[in-house]
Structure 1
Amino acid sequence: MPKPTFFRLAETKRKRLIKAAYDEFSRASFQDASISNIIKEAGIPRGSFYQYFEDKSDIFFYLLDRTRSSTEELYMQAMTRHDGDLFGMMADFFDTSVEKLLKGPHREFYENVFLFMDFHNAAHFSSMPKKAPDPHPKKVFLDYTLEHIDRSKLRVKSDEDVAMLFRQVMWIFMQSIGYYYTRRRNGENVTTTALKARMAKMLNWLQYGVVISEEEVHD
């Protein structure tokens, strides 16, 4: 995470450095990204960079942490809007997150993170690996879910079972985003509308099942 000197920077300089980092990690994978390119675009000396961050992985994880904070907020807002209804909330969260990840200003950065799993490389090359944050904020989401979910609408009641269900739902989200980026990288035209429909279908299957009842068979 940034050193205290980073937060004492003038806002315009801080934003310029953040933008330069986003641009570089959007252009290249973590391994190929260059501090030289970041400081050149930000207009700062190399020595100044190390007054703000320990190394390349430090600023990379800071960008990931900004993503974690914003997605946590989206998740909690969706939970509030749907009064703890897990599936209603998740459908809402999927839609808003897709807009942010795939159409927002940092979409190329998110694409590189998903395609190259750069947080693994960043953790490996970090000069202080123990302080690197978890790039998957699942525990925060899970803890919030366990506390705020309306279990009266579910057949699963225990924390263990709710956690298992939560992981299945989040797998749909992560797998779908990976599907989108992989297909796009291979030259296929996958629209966000089609992706949302695909996610909604899988969420519906999980919520209602895929086996038809005896009554439906004979209709």
Structure 2
Amino acid sequence: MPKPTFFRLADEKRSRLIKAAYDEFTRAPFAEASISNIIKDAGIPRGSFYQYFDDKADVYFYLLNRMKTSATMQIKQAMDVHDGDLFAAMRSLFAGMAKALIEGPYAKFYRNIFMYMDFHAASKMSTPPPPHPHGNGEIMDFLVDRTDMTKLRVSSEEDLRTLIHQLMGLFMQTIGYYYNRQSAGAVVDEAALLRRLNQLLDWLEFGAGQPR
């Protein structure tokens, strides 16, 4: 995580450094990204960079943690809006996230994360390794606490946690499908991605088999 000196920077300088880091990790996957490019774009000396971060992995994980904080806020808002209805909240949440991943300002940065799974490479360079960016204990606990279980066919907290894992895995797999199709030259627009997401959510919520 950033050193205390980073948070004491003037807002403009801190924002410039964050933007330079996003731009560099958008331009190239983690292994090919360069501190030299970050400090050049940010307009700071190399020595100043190391007053704010330990290394390239440190600033990379800081960006990932910013993403996690944003996602956590969106999840909490969706659950509040839908009054604990897990599937309704996930539908609206996934729609917003899909839009951000495809056409949002950080879309190419997200693509590098998914396509290269850069956090694995970054963790090898960190001593000690930082928390895994997909660590979701706080999110999981919130969802378990906030979900209205009367709307679900689950009988225990353990079952609910399993269901939530399935929902999150469904979203990650669908985004992986989108990037892989894109890399193969196929056109998958936002509408097509949402149709796939909603179909999978329907199968998980209502079942895929015909009634007997």
Q: One-letter code of the match for 1:143?
A: D
Looking at structure 2, the residues matched to 210 and 98 of structure 1 have their Cα atoms a distance apart, in angstroms, of 23
Indicate conservation of the 8 Å contact 1:68/1:137, yes or no. no
Indicate conservation of the 8 Å contact 1:24/1:34, yes or no. yes
Per-residue deviation at 1:128?
A: 3.3
Per-residue deviation at 1:138?
A: 2.6
2:30 aligns to what SS in structure 1?
coil
Indicate conservation of the 8 Å contact 1:55/1:127, yes or no. no
Structure 1's consecutive aligned runs of 4 or more residues displaced over 3 angstroms after TM superposition are none
CA shift digits 1:29-85 (9 cap, x unpaired): 111100001001111000000000000000000000000000101111000011111
Provide the residue aligned with 2:190 in structure 1. 192
The answer to whether residue 136 in structure 2 is matched with residue 138 in structure 1 is: yes
Looking at structure 1, the residues matched to 100 and 8 of structure 2 have their Cα atoms a distance apart, in angstroms, of 29
Provide the residue aligned with 2:167 in structure 1. 169
Q: One-letter code of the match for 2:72?
A: E
Provide the residue aligned with 1:70 in structure 2. 70
Indicate conservation of the 8 Å contact 1:74/1:97, yes or no. no
CA shift digits 1:148-186 (9 cap, x unpaired): 100011110211100111111111100011111111122
Do the aligned partners of residues 200 and 150 (structure 1) sit closer, same or farther apart at CA in structure 2, a change above 3 Å counting?
same
Provide the residue aligned with 2:52 in structure 1. 52
Q: One-letter code of the match for 1:156?
A: V
The answer to whether residue 211 in structure 2 is matched with residue 203 in structure 1 is: no
The answer to whether residue 82 in structure 2 is matched with residue 82 in structure 1 is: yes
Q: One-letter code of the match for 1:19?
A: K
Per-residue deviation at 1:114?
A: 0.5
5+ unaligned residues in a row in structure 2: which ranges? none
Taking structure 2 as the reference length, the TM-score comes to 0.97
Taking structure 1 as the reference length, the TM-score comes to 0.94
Indicate conservation of the 8 Å contact 1:54/1:127, yes or no. no
The answer to whether residue 172 in structure 2 is matched with residue 182 in structure 1 is: no
Indicate conservation of the 8 Å contact 1:35/1:56, yes or no. yes
Q: One-letter code of the match for 1:87?
A: F
Q: Over alpha carbons, which structure has the higher Rg?
A: 1
CA shift digits 1:192-219 (9 cap, x unpaired): 11001100000000111011123xxxxx
Identity of aligned residues (%): 53
Looking at structure 2, the residues matched to 76 and 100 of structure 1 have their Cα atoms a distance apart, in angstroms, of 17
2:69 aligns to what SS in structure 1?
helix
Looking at structure 1, the residues matched to 127 and 17 of structure 2 have their Cα atoms a distance apart, in angstroms, of 20
Per-residue deviation at 1:118?
A: 0.3
2:153 aligns to what SS in structure 1?
coil
5+ unaligned residues in a row in structure 1: which ranges? 215-219
Looking at structure 1, the residues matched to 199 and 77 of structure 2 have their Cα atoms a distance apart, in angstroms, of 23
Q: One-letter code of the match for 2:128?
A: M
Looking at structure 1, the residues matched to 11 and 168 of structure 2 have their Cα atoms a distance apart, in angstroms, of 35
Q: One-letter code of the match for 2:119?
A: F
Indicate conservation of the 8 Å contact 1:57/1:122, yes or no. yes
Provide the residue aligned with 1:217 in structure 2. none
Q: One-letter code of the match for 2:103?
A: K
